[in-house]
Chains A and B, each alone.
Chain A
């Protein structure tokens, strides 16, 4: 039986300068259902949420709430219309009490009866089964409980629509269970819940329906029983599961001697960022890759290799010799380069010139007291601007005024200039145009042919198949498989990523 729709979004469009973030997207939320909103990064999930909550004005389409068209201009508007949002990061005040957090900004008049509010809060908390007391300081609760308090606040505002934006990413398994319990009991009360997450297991555990977005467009809305995991993964990645078009690896893998001592080898390498200890090795001239959905721990693995996050344990050998890599400089001195996933946050140094950005890593390796002469720096910059065909007005241009693809090339130039033996590229092709993507893929294969070892990470599976000769598959922070040769095809990879029974 079809339940009545609480929220209907029809033909939603949202444009940013040069980008179509959302194009003609429909979304329907029914009474008492948990509805997963899925898609890889840049698919438009968060844009859709932000349009719904009034953070961004929409450029087209209609929103209907309980059969009445509504215009949502600000988050306050959204709250008043009964749309409540709980974000990944806690947006409450940890130094206030639980009750204060639940009622802040919602009391009328200058006088507040805190006694009554505390009593009300306690009743609500026990109704929802949240293990917290009204006059307890919020900061003293666990993250999960804080998350639940945020939900309780939303519930008390008599919300019809509750948006949970990746609420589980910082919770452990027990805490997630508690949160799911709360979600189920809200569902019983008829609240419609929009659940945004990267974790497949969780989707199949609590959700009733799934809406998949890709590249700002609606892929489809599915009832959970009709969409096995492998299908979901293929919908998210935009590869038809039945499309057996097997792309042959162009990489010349015959020259790699797998019996030689690996250039880099890690045993039981453990990080502090939620990945299980893993073994890993790479040979001279090899291109391999970590794959898995976002949040599966693939970036965390390479960050551990580079020493970007604190390394908790394990043994690392380079060319058979034991080395200690505790911080990025150690890795750099051992000939490892790392192009980080988040270009803006970890890659470019925004206001600095293209020249300074290119020479940065090599300069740091050369030493604090031995700066390159201006002429030498210019020469390096010019060489790599030519080599990678970087489009910039001059070497003096601040790097943040370049386009995304060119910024990426600048960082690539930085690490090529450092002349590494082992190059790690984490999502080097994200958010850049097709032409540049192909250039970067070709470059990777060329580097391998020259005898460098490369680890290549990408969300686009066919890109990985084209460039890598071996894939390490990750799910939920664990290495769950290693594929090479015959197994390097879309179906096998997706099946391994999805795991589970399907």
Chain B
């Protein structure tokens, strides 16, 4: 008898733990990741094979689908950081991310190449190009931020301006030429540093995550952004300036765009204005949504957004691996995304909880009637 009671209690504890886990914000993105992993294990375990192979320059580097995923997800993860903050503070999303990456990349090339589109040597140190690109991107971020914070334009409409104009501005910066950089050292940032077997973007993304973790630790950015997103009027009466916080979040996203743009041009050592980072804004917004963050602003979980970014890249790479026609990939992705986003929507989760309660109470009723 006592054994039975003990067993029941431990079952209860397990159940409580499971419920807590399911309600955790990290649950959906992690569950999605697990599902993708299991799917690949079942269908083709070779998906997870990682091997050392000589790179194009002859060094041994790691290769395999997993490496591709963490490599290609780098830009997405970096952008998810900024997008999470913008979403939290302004309750809207920046859709100009892809276009402003084109601008950022174009600025890097313009500084490195000068007016010569096929330079023999770099016209400026790479660090200078990078810093100029950060400043320019931050300014474009500030432009979006001012429209949203001070002119009270909906974020999606405000950023529609650069979404439309960004790629033209990028082309105009380089006189519509497509500069190519021959210096191999420029390619290190988007590919491999000689002697290091992991792709560099992975390190850059990790550095960005560490940086934002530090910023969230030593400043009140989290508290302020959440507070402004939840209740701007109340925040103002507590001495916070909601406009400034919104502006800052857009500037931080601008800096994220600069880093992502720098990686993008470094990968190819050139740029194609019309296709670079195309539609990336949608993937970034999905990463934030997948992380269970309310797209209407307020509380956020940075880790969940970043995991969301990796899940999306995992999905994309899985689809590529199964030779899904590249034109059809978006459609497949859409189906998966619909399921995930609907499942993580607060409304649906509330309904699920209610449904569960109903079943439980029904069971209890039946038991009582039997008794």
Which positions in A face B, CB cutoff 8 Å? 306, 308, 327-329, 332, 338, 340, 345-352, 356, 360-361, 363-365, 368-369, 371, 414
- Bound complex: CA A368 to CA B230 (Å): 18
Q: B197-208, CB under 8 A of A: which get 1 and which 0?
A: 000000000000
- Bound complex: CA A308 to CA B226 (Å): 21
B110 an interface residue at 8 Å Cβ cutoff?
Answer: no
Q: Chain B residues near A306 (CB, 8 Å)?
A: 237
Known contacts A346-B233, A364-B220, A371-B220, then 7 further A-B pairs from the complex at CB < 8 Å, ordered by chain A residue: A338-B237, A346-B237, A349-B227, A351-B299, A356-B226, A361-B239, A364-B238
B235 an interface residue at 8 Å Cβ cutoff?
Answer: yes
Within the complex, what minimum Cβ distance (angstroms) separates B163 from chain A?
25
- Bound complex: CA A414 to CA B235 (Å): 13
- A368 to B224, Cβ gap below 8 A? yes
State the main secondary structure of chain B at its contact with A: helix
B218 an interface residue at 8 Å Cβ cutoff?
Answer: yes
Q: Chain B residues near A345 (CB, 8 Å)?
A: 231, 233-234
- Contacts A360-B223, A363-B220; A350 near B231 (Cβ below 8 A): yes
Within the complex, what minimum Cβ distance (angstroms) separates A225 from chain B?
43
- Bound complex: CA A265 to CA B317 (Å): 68
27 contacts between A and B (CB under 8 A): A306-B237, A308-B236, A328-B237, A328-B238, A328-B239, A340-B237, A345-B231, A346-B234, A348-B234, A349-B227, A349-B234, A349-B235, A350-B230, A356-B226, A360-B227, A360-B238, A363-B223, A364-B220, A364-B238, A364-B240, A368-B220, A368-B221, A369-B219, A371-B217, A371-B218, A371-B219, A371-B223
Q: Chain A residues near B219 (CB, 8 Å)?
A: 368-369, 371
- A347 to B220, Cβ gap below 8 A? no
Q: Chain B residues near A414 (CB, 8 Å)?
A: 238
B29 an interface residue at 8 Å Cβ cutoff?
Answer: no
B298 an interface residue at 8 Å Cβ cutoff?
Answer: yes
- Bound complex: CA A350 to CA B226 (Å): 10
Interface range, B side: 20 to 34
Identify the closest chain A residue to B299 (Cβ).
Answer: A351
Identify the closest chain A residue to B298 (Cβ).
Answer: A351
- Contacts A371-B218, A371-B220; A351 near B237 (Cβ below 8 A): no
- A364 to B239, Cβ gap below 8 A? yes
Of B220, B221, B235, the most chain A CB neighbours within 10 A belong to: B220
Identify the closest chain A residue to B217 (Cβ).
Answer: A371
Q: Chain A residues near B241 (CB, 8 Å)?
A: 327, 329
Within the complex, what minimum Cβ distance (angstroms) separates A412 from chain B?
14
Within the complex, what minimum Cβ distance (angstroms) separates B2 from chain A?
31
- Bound complex: CA A39 to CA B219 (Å): 47
Identify the closest chain B residue to A338 (Cβ).
Answer: B237
- A348 to B224, Cβ gap below 8 A? no
- Bound complex: CA A340 to CA B237 (Å): 8
Q: Chain A residues near B223 (CB, 8 Å)?
A: 352, 356, 360, 363, 371
- Bound complex: CA A222 to CA B217 (Å): 63
Q: Chain A residues near B238 (CB, 8 Å)?
A: 328, 332, 360-361, 364, 414
